[in-house]
Amino acid sequence: MPLTIIRNDITKIRADAVVNAANTELQMGGGVCGAIFSAAGARKLQTACDKLAPIKTGEAVITPGFNLPAKYIIHTAGPVYRGGNNGEEELLRLCYINSLNTARNKGCKSIAFPLISSGIYGYPKDEALNVATGAAGEWLLQNDNNTDIDNDIEISIVVFDKTSFEISKKLLGEVEGFIDENYEDKDNTGGHENKRMRESFKVEKSERFVRPPRSAALENIEDIESTEDKEAENDFAGLPLPAKSIAPKQKLSLQKTAEFPKPAAALDDIVKRLDEPFSQTLLKLIDAKGKTDVEVYKRANLDRKLFSKIRTGKNYIPSKKTVVALSVALELSLAETDDLLERAGFALSRSVMFDVIVEYFIANRKYNIFEINNVLFKYDQPILGG
């Protein structure tokens, strides 16, 4: 997956490159910087850094990984947070962009970032996360080579624990409110009981099996038919019926059938639509939405190889979270998303936390897949892409 969030110790990550949240003098510091120096071998790493120092805030340089599982360490100096009105966001964005450019120039296929500047430099964690995912997403969209399948870089944002991961309180409040309103906790263990939804469901369920009141028109039709039946019976009373004749009631029944034929054409159309390969439906949607293949798989946070498999594989059916990711990338409505999921054999459920969170974003036409993934990660749900 091009961009993912993982909970781990960055010094234990196996990647082509890990990023050090460095200072401009490239000296061993505290926090992530100190941990990377210690794990890599402080003396050897400091000797390599001294040859490259100093650097400017936002710049990035590269050294060997030494004792780390990673091949390289990319050092970038993040900004100190001074209220947010002193160019901090652009400088932080440059840390990610320049680090990614450095990794690409070294031929790296994977890179792991900490949340730069979110420690002792004081950058608010939720804002630092938005800058990180935004910059990485921007870089992924702008750096693509259609002739080189191996050009993609897998990007990981590594957080040590839940305390180092925060999302917007406003967004989190909106999502929590939506979950409280819509999530049906079947096991009654998730802490999100939706009494109003359950009461509504009970009413709908009870009403579903109650025969609706017959309209006056329907009663009149049945009365007329009943009268016609009786008159026909009186006309034929006492007369022998021919061997191959049809009794009046049978004849009337056949007439009714002829008046209300089965919608064969509509049924045929449904069957044809179900038989259409998922890949064909996807291509039609891409064209209808005026998007390109590259734009779709990048915005869906999908690996190009997987997207190619989906696009060209006539009988290939992607996973549910991949279909949802494509729906987000295509900016589908909730109804369109339901239809696309159905074609792959899936559906959104109010009893699945992942589904409810996804429904919130699609229903509110919020199509930033990295923002969605931040919330999914917060709730310990699988994130979109693949």
What is the reported pLDDT for 151?
59
33 and 98 belong to one structural domain: yes
47 and 138 belong to one structural domain: yes
15 and 153 belong to one structural domain: yes
- Decide the pairing of beta strands 154-159 and 3-7: parallel
147 and 180 belong to one structural domain: no
The number of beta carbons lying within 10 Å of the beta carbon of residue 6 is 13
- From 134, 166, 198, the end of a domain falls on 166
Residue 234 forms part of a structural domain: no
8 and 100 belong to one structural domain: yes
What is the reported pLDDT for 51?
98
Residue 351 forms part of a structural domain: yes
Total count of residues recorded for the chain: 386
What is the reported pLDDT for 187?
59
- From 136, 166, 196, the end of a domain falls on 166
Per residue in 176-223, pLDDT (tens digit) is 999 999 998 765 544 444 444 334 334 333 333 343 444 444 444 344
Q: Which domain holds residue 125?
A: 3-166
Residue 50 forms part of a structural domain: yes
185 and 277 belong to one structural domain: no
Does the N-terminal peptide bond of residue 212 adopt cis geometry, omega within 30 degrees of 0?
A: no
293 and 178 belong to one structural domain: no
- Which stretches of the chain drop beneath a pLDDT of 70? 1, 144-151, 164, 186-275
Task: State the CATH number of the domain containing residue 356.
Answer: 1.10.260
150 and 188 belong to one structural domain: no
What is the reported pLDDT for 165?
79
Specify the pTM.
0.74
Residue 219 is which amino acid? Answer: E
Number of domains in the chain: 3
What is the reported pLDDT for 231?
45
Residue 136 forms part of a structural domain: yes
What is the reported pLDDT for 367?
97
pLDDT over 70, % of the chain: 74
What is the reported pLDDT for 5?
93
What is the reported pLDDT for 274?
55
100 and 51 belong to one structural domain: yes
Residue 228 forms part of a structural domain: no
Residue 244 forms part of a structural domain: no
188: exposed, middle or buried (C-beta count within 10 Å: 0-12, 13-18, 19+)?
exposed
9 and 146 belong to one structural domain: yes
Per residue in 263-294, pLDDT (tens digit) is 444 445 544 555 688 999 999 999 999 999 99
349 and 273 belong to one structural domain: yes
Buried b (16+ CB within 10 A) or exposed e, 318-344: bebbbbbbbbbbbebeeebbbebbebb
What is the spatial distance between Cα 8 and Cα 23, in angstroms, rounded to a whole number? 23
Residue 236 forms part of a structural domain: no
